[in-house]
Structures are given as structure tokens and as C-alpha cells.
Chains A and B, each alone.
Chain A
Amino acid sequence: MFAVAAVGILVSMTLALARAFLGPTVYDRILAANTFGTKTVVLLAAIGFLTGRPDWIDLSLIYALINFIGTIAALKLFEFGTLAHTRGRDRE
């Protein structure tokens, strides 16, 4: 069962990668990178159960936290044009 899940996740990883290659807009690629991170989290959990090491699920949970940072930074760059800019600072 976990083997089937791993194959399915690998296929969806390939599809996300194809979206990152083809674009066409940069938002597609940001979303593809975020999706790919999520797939990595699930893949690691699946491989962990597949090979009898269920403690990998803690690892994959931490990957889920890391995965968010890049996406937020990219979206902030497009929203404000710089990573140093925040709305809160302007109101001071």
C-alpha cells in the first residue's frame, strides 16, 4: 500500500516539476515549488513507513515548516518589490 502511495507521489512530483519547467508565468513556478515541497513531505513519510522507520514522519513534518519560507519570500518579493519592506514599518 505504501509502495503504491510512493509511486503516486512520485508521479505527482514529476507533474509539479513539469509545471515548474513549463511555466508559463512565474506564479506557476512558485506554486510548483511549493507543491513540490509538499510532495517531498508526503514522500518522506511514505518511504519511512515503507522501510519500517515511522519516525521519519517527524522529519517530514519539519520539512513542511521549511517549505513555507521560500514561498512566502517569493510572494513578498512580488508584492513589495523588496524583502526589507513591510507595511507595519510604514505606519510608524
Chain B
Amino acid sequence: METAIDVTLLALLGLTGIALLRVYNLVTAAMLLAIYSLLCASLFTTLDAVDVAFTEAAVGAGVSTVLLLGTLALVGREEKRPLKRQALPLIMVVVTGAALVYGIADIPPFGAPDNPAQQHVAPVYLQESEAATGIPNVVTSVLTSYRGYDTLGEVTVIFTAAVGVLLLLATGRGRGRGPDDG
């Protein structure tokens, strides 16, 4: 049953990606991107990567949609149609995709207990993290305690990006508007 759900979600994801390429109304594209993020989040959740899924939903479906729409308010809602179809980008994408699919063959099977990822440091975290940090969720203890400085750096990067985007979007029409201009 879970396999059937995964296959259906992946098929919907592929369809959404193809539809995204074919729309020229940018508000529609923003809505389809929100749907794409929700599908990704569902897939991540079924893979048990709940924290990744939550980030994907919050950033992809929540913040990104608002930022995209805020940008569309400044640049217009229609994309220019290409004058002619070019073959080279399609060939490059197909070749890159084929190389990635070929690389999948070397990835160890999902969830297998003898995977390298499951044997290196994961047992230590699983057995000792709760006693060492006092946090019952292993992922949270790794993120906020073992890799605390790393997470602090990530938060700084995200904060800087948010400040930059807000500064970009705040200039122009919205700024310096007097009470009579509205």
C-alpha cells in the first residue's frame, strides 16, 4: 500500500513538473510550485524524513510562494514565449538525467540495515544521544547539540538571505508613499 502511495505521489510530481514547464502565466506557475512542494513534502514524510518534509513545506509551499508572488507584483504576471525551440538544452538535460539514473544503481538499497550510513556513527547517536543531551528525538539532538554551531551558521545564512530579499522587495512602489498617494 505504501509503495502504491509513493508511486502515485511520484507520478503526480512528474506531471506537475511537466505542467510547470508548459505554463506561461507566472501566478499559475507559483501555484504549481506550491503543489510541487506539497508533493515533495508528502514523499519526504513517507520516507520518514519528517523534519526535511516540514522544512520543504514551510519554505517551499509557504515562504517561497509569498516571495514569488511579491516578485510578480513588481515584474508582471506573464512570461515571454520563446521564439523558437532549442534542442541543445533538452539534450543536455536528458544526458544529465541519464547519468544520474545510471548513478542510482550504485546507491545502497533504501533503509537496508547494512548501509554505510547506518553503520558508521549512527549507532552511537542512537544509543548515547539521549543520555548525553537529554533530548528524546535523535534528529533534534544531532541538529541542535552535536551540530549546534553548524545549525547556528545555517540560521545566520537564512537570516541574511531573508534580510536581503526583504530589502529588495521593499524598494520601489511600496516605499516613501505619502498619505495622499494611496
Instruction: Decide: A70 and B174 in contact? CB cutoff 8 A.
Output: no
Which of B16, B25, B35, B182 is in CB contact (< 8 Å) with A26?
Answer: B25
Main secondary structure of the interface of A (DSSP, over half): helix
Contacts of A36 in B (CB 8 A): 34-35, 38
Q: Which residues of B contact A (CB under 8 A)?
A: 1-2, 5, 8-9, 12, 15-16, 19, 25, 27-28, 30-32, 34-35, 38-39, 41-42, 45-46, 50, 53-54, 57-58, 61-63, 65-66, 69-70, 72-74, 169-170, 173-174, 179, 182
Decide if A17 touches B16 in the complex (CB within 8 Å): yes
CB closest chain-A residue, reference B28: A29
Distance between A63 CB and nearest chain B CB, rounded to angstroms: 6
Could you tell me how many residues of chain A have their Cβ less than 8 Å away from some Cβ of chain B? Answer: 41
Residues B66 and A56 in contact, CB atoms below 8 Å apart: no
A interface residues with partner B (beta carbon < 8 Å): 3, 6, 10, 13-14, 17, 20-21, 23, 26, 29-30, 32-33, 36-37, 40, 43-44, 47, 50-51, 56, 59, 62-63, 66-67, 69-70, 73-74, 77, 81-85, 89-90, 92
Contact indicator B27/A6 (Cβ below 8 Å): no
Tally of A-B Cβ pairs under 8 angstroms: 122
CB of A1 to closest CB in B, whole Å: 12
A92 vs B180: C-alpha distance when bound (angstroms): 10
**Are B182 and A70 closer than 8 Å at their CB atoms?**
no
Are A21 and B27 within 8 A (Cβ)? no
Closest 7 CB pairs of A and B: A84-B174, A70-B65, A33-B31, A90-B182, A73-B66, A82-B73, A66-B62
Q: CA of A33 to CA of B73 in the docked complex: distance in angstroms?
A: 19
Q: Which residues of B contact A14 (CB under 8 A)?
A: 8, 12
Instruction: Give me 17 A-to-B residue pairs in the complex whose CB atoms sit less than 8 angstroms apart, sorted by A's number.
Output: A10-B5, A26-B27, A33-B31, A33-B32, A37-B38, A40-B39, A43-B42, A50-B1, A56-B50, A59-B50, A66-B62, A67-B61, A73-B65, A73-B70, A74-B31, A74-B69, A89-B182
